[in-house]
Amino acid sequence: MQDTAKNKKIAEEKVAQLLQQKEKLSADINSLKTDEGKEKFFRENLGLAKEGEDMIVVVEDKTVAPVAPSSGGFWGFFTKWLK
């Protein structure tokens, strides 16, 4: 009997999630029916710009700068600082 109640609760939660997803998808569809919605979609998902606009593309540098070997750690730093 407890398993049935547990399964019912799980099914109800799944139905609630699906209804929320349906509402979001319906809102997205309605948004894409407008020019503003289409423009927003193209800008955010495809990286497009209007005619006359400039775009800046930021590219992550994949190279790693070499690390200089340590010269004495803290004491090396301290003695260089005193010089």
> Which tens digits make up the pLDDT trace of 13-69?
999 999 999 999 999 999 999 999 999 998 889 888 888 888 788 888 888 777 666
Residue 56: inside a domain, yes or no? no
Residue 65: inside a domain, yes or no? no
Helix, strand, coil percent values for the chain (each to nearest 5): 65, 0, 35
Residue 69: inside a domain, yes or no? no
Tokens of 61: 């540098």
For the chain, what is the domain count?
A: 1
Residue 62: inside a domain, yes or no? no
- In one-letter notation, the amino acid at residue 80 is K
- Residue whose structure tokens are 């997803």: 21
Q: Domain range spanning residue 6?
A: 1-51
Enter the pTM of the model. Answer: 0.52
